[in-house]
């Protein structure tokens, strides 16, 4: 019988799987370093200027993070891990590319909904000017992020197990700090002309 992983063992495993499957490109790693730094700024801004934090988080931190996944990561057979891209997408614990596309479509739809059908979100502040529109947009985008995080966490807790959901939620919230630690050398690799991480550390995670 396989031993149940502890919380921190599973956290380490989820981080390693995410790294080896979805962060082989040094360009993607460098973008994650930039994105992670921006998310740390976002965390600082939330209690001070929440509207600015949401715009900064979605426009700068989130987009720079996803560009690396969509445009720079290998999409064919994964020779490093010996699996197909379809297999990686199927076993992805969090948001695979298909789920990310759905999330980004929802994100892009919210400004149009607020502009053309403001009554749809009746719980928002009544729109009397541009400032109210931007405030409502920030609230809606923050709500979308919360729904995405909470929804996926609950799904994992129900269909995987409670610990897996809580581990994934913890991973997502702490990813900015972990990414800075893990990918701080990515720009140096790019300056050396290197493009893909050989994942030499995989032996220590076997």
What does the pLDDT look like over 77-97, one tens digit per residue?
888 888 998 999 988 999 998
Tens of pLDDT, residue by residue over 93-131, are: 999 989 999 999 999 998 888 777 766 554 555 555 567
Least confident of 51-55, 165-169, 181-185, 186-190: 51-55
**Residue 28 has which token pair?**
């993607």
- Decide: helix, strand or coil at residue 77: coil
Task: Read off the pTM.
Answer: 0.86
Q: What CA–CA distance (Å, rounded) separates 120 from 54? A: 21
What average pLDDT does the segment 129-138 reach?
Answer: 76
> What is the per-residue pLDDT across 21-57, written as a single tens digit (0 to 9) for each?
999 999 999 999 999 999 999 999 999 998 899 999 9
138-142, 162-166, 175-179, 187-191, range with the lowest pLDDT: 138-142
Does residue 140 carry a pLDDT above 90?
A: no
- For 47-75, what is the mean pLDDT? 91
Phi-psi region of 25 (alpha: psi -120 to 50; beta: other; left: phi over 0): beta
Distance CA 121, CA 4 (A): 44
């Amino acid at each position: 019988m396989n031993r149940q992983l502890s919380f921190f063992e599973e956290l380490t495993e989820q981080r390693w799987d995410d790294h080896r499957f979805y962060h082989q490109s040094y360009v993607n790693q460098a973008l994650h370093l930039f994105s992670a730094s921006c998310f740390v700024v976002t965390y600082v801004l939330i209690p001070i200027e929440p509207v600015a934090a949401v715009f900064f988080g979605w426009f700068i931190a989130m987009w720079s993070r996803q560009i690396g996944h969509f445009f720079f990561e290998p999409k064919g057979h994964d020779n490093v891990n010996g699996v197909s891209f379809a297999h990686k997408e199927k076993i992805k614990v969090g948001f695979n590319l298909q789920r990310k596309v759905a999330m980004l479509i929802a994100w892009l739809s919210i400004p149009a909904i607020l502009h053309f059908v403001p009554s749809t979100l009746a719980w928002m502040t009544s729109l009397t000017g541009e400032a109210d529109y931007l405030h409502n947009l920030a609230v809606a985008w923050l709500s979308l992020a919360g729904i995405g995080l909470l929804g996926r966490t609950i799904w994992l807790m129900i269909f995987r197990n409670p610990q897996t959901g809580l581990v994934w939620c913890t991973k997502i919230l702490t990813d900015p700090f972990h990414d800075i630690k893990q990918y701080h050398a990515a720009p140096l690799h790019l300056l050396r002309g290197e493009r893909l991480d050989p994942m030499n550390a995989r032996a220590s995670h076997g």
